[in-house]
Structure 1
Amino acid sequence: MTTFEAMRKAVFIFAAAGLLLQSCKNDFEVNEPWRETMVVVGLLNAADTAHYIKINKAYLGEGNALVMAGEFDSINYTDNEIDARLERWKNGVLMQTLPLYRDTLIPKDTGVFASPLQMLYKTSSPILQDGSSYKLIINNENSGKVVTSETPIVQNISVNTPNPNQTINLVGVNPYSTKFYTAAEGKRYEVVVRFHYTEKLIFDTTQQERKHVDIFLGTYEAADLSGGQLIESSVTPEVFYKTIGNNVQPNGNVNLYYNSLEFIYSAAAEVFVIYMDVAQTQSATFGEMPFFTNISDGVGLFSSRFNKYVNNVRLSAASYDSLRFGQYTVHQGWR
């Protein structure tokens, strides 16, 4: 999952919480003075080249809440209403200020909430992994409301094995194990092997499409946030080839060509882990919703994560034979 995909899921949950609240207000006709509630979601990732903060407003008004959710102006602030910035702090000293600029280039998926236009706040400045923390400050220049939050940054993940361009064996019954060291400020980890391949039309090989299949290896928790803990994650040949067999559909019009493997290590900061755990909690009482926020004078999530990529890992010749002729993939037409 990319940082933006993770952020999009977080946005939906917080926005849905606002929708549920509004629905309850309509159902019971509760009238109270309007109070501004800012909904903020941001996940900083030092591996990304651009960083986005989603800033919305909770809405309150007469009428159907679902209809209101679909109105762009009901959930978004107007031009020049929001002044937002990131501050980089290290050892108690302000090191850098990064203005956040409005951006509408990433469309929103269709659904309950207004789409496809989506309002984000962006910086392309790099997020440093030097022990700095980042503070988010959002000022509504019309109302004077100020919302803040702060997060440490997940540091680099050190991979012991595999290395880029390394050849690995996935044959027989012996699993392949990858080993990595946890990052400072990283609490939860996921490991995925991405199998890259190309489909080429048999009668016109210039017509081709690059695709991939993800093989999930597992989720792991660090003992603490200091980093340096060795974690080993394994995949058996059976799981590897069976996953490919289940996710690549045979097509008599194309030939399949294996390209390479990519090992992807994802780390989430502790606050992000707490948010994910709370979001997955199912309440036994109808109408109750578990809730978590680390936004001061607002609601939402501001945290960090990190993705480490080891590219161009190769299958051995014996492993490639297993791909072409093994029981799970022999019918797919690998060349």
Structure 2
Amino acid sequence: MKNFGFLAGALFVALFTSCDQDIDLTADWQNIPIVYGLLNEADSAHYIRVEKAFQDQNGNAFLAALEPDSLYYQDATVRLLNLTTGKQATLVKVDGAAEGYPRDPGDFAQLPNYLYKVHSNNFPLEGGDEIRFRLERGDNLPEVTADCVVLSEIQPQGLFAGSNLDFSEDDDITFRWRAGDEARIFDLTLVIHYDEKLAGNPDVQSYSLEWPMVKNVKRSGSSATIIAKIFGLEFYKFLEASIEARPDATRILTGMDLVITGGGEAVEQYISIALANTGITSSQEIPIYSNISEGRGIFTSIVRTTVPDLQLSAESDNYLKTSTVTADLNFQ
């Protein structure tokens, strides 16, 4: 269920732990739905966050935000409709905290952390399926809708379990993969696994580091093959910055997993707008992207592929052990 990189940062956090912090809590009262949903055909269950923006009638919206009755719809009905197959499912209201997704502390009530859930066996997804989100709020309010296309599987090129990665200290390393037309933007994360043993202690501790190698990679033109490059020395710099140099520690790199996460057009627009005003010519008012009718938020699809059990090439392994960048880490 969990993802990596920017797509797991802004979007995953929005889905499982947050509300729309850009809503003005002191504005005139309106019934504004806030919706976040990320569909992945590989997930065992699909979750959608549905909340509302509000104004407390007594004027203290910040106190009201701590009250679940003010934050959540009481009688909402949430459905997903597969426009490709015609199948429809009604989602069940669950407490995200009980599902392993607690809400971060902040301006909004932490418990309960309501989400709407459907198991994948009750609503199976396939790449290319067009899915419609439907929210009925009651009180004769308009139905809230949003559409997305389920992303197909990403296919790494030239890499498979057990492959060697060559992080040359003076050259780029290139990654290639193929993805369906609907996938528009990608993150690459390398999960690095190593064992550590301290002198005088027989116990071996295992650790994993997540290195966000490349973010926001966009496809070039209409090509189905996407290419990302990173300077090889960055691998060793990341390890140097992430692991404490200890003369009493010996370490062994046990393997690496390459995680490629892709997002569709809605994700691309969401990120582009979020980054639009970060330069010296940016305006004071940051625009907000939403593809939710009658409200705010994002309903979209993501896809994730993992290539496990990667190893370093002989040259890279030797550089890890002997270079001035990482020799003090005592990899054996």
Q: TM-score range by the shorter chain?
A: 0.7 to 0.9
Within 2, Cα distance between the matches of 1:330 and 1:156? 39
Name the SS of the counterpart of 1:318 in structure 2: helix
How many residues align structurally?
317
1:72 paired to 2:76: no
1:179 paired to 2:172: no
- Matched with 1:165 is 162
TM norm structure 2: 0.84
Name the SS of the counterpart of 2:22 in structure 1: helix
- Matched with 1:16 is 21
CA change 1:201–1:134 in 2 (3 A) is farther
Contact 2:130/2:149 (<8 A) preserved: yes
From 196, 220, 225, the counterpart of 2:193 = 196
Deviation at residue 168 of structure 1 after TM alignment = 2.8
Gaps of 5+ in 2: none
Identity %: 23
- Matched with 1:260 is 255
- Matched with 1:240 is 235
From 86, 102, 116, the counterpart of 2:93 = 102
Within 1, Cα distance between the matches of 2:134 and 2:160? 40
TM norm structure 1: 0.84
Within 1, Cα distance between the matches of 2:104 and 2:161? 35
Matches within 5 A, 1:81-230: 81-90=75-84, 93-94=85-86, 96-104=87-95, 105=98, 106-125=101-120, 127-141=124-138, 145-206=142-203, 208-223=205-220, 229-230=224-225
1:329 paired to 2:326: yes
CA change 1:299–1:171 in 2 (3 A) is closer
Deviation at residue 101 of structure 1 after TM alignment = 1.4
| Larger mean Cα displacement after TM superposition, 67-76 or 240-249 | 67-76
Contact 2:35/2:296 (<8 A) preserved: yes
Deviation at residue 241 of structure 1 after TM alignment = 0.7
1:50 paired to 2:45: yes
CA change 1:83–1:205 in 2 (3 A) is farther
Deviation at residue 184 of structure 1 after TM alignment = 2.4
| Larger mean Cα displacement after TM superposition, 261-270 or 245-254 | 245-254
Gaps of 5+ in 1: none
- Matched with 2:294 is 297
| Larger mean Cα displacement after TM superposition, 238-247 or 41-50 | 41-50
Name the SS of the counterpart of 1:122 in structure 2: strand
From 307, 310, 322, the counterpart of 1:313 = 310
CA change 1:152–1:188 in 2 (3 A) is same
Deviation at residue 13 of structure 1 after TM alignment = 8.1
* Deviations 1:282-325 (CA, angstroms, capped at 9, x unpaired): 39665x44122211223221111111111111112332221122
| Larger mean Cα displacement after TM superposition, 181-190 or 137-146 | 137-146
Name the SS of the counterpart of 2:235 in structure 1: helix
Contact 2:187/2:261 (<8 A) preserved: yes
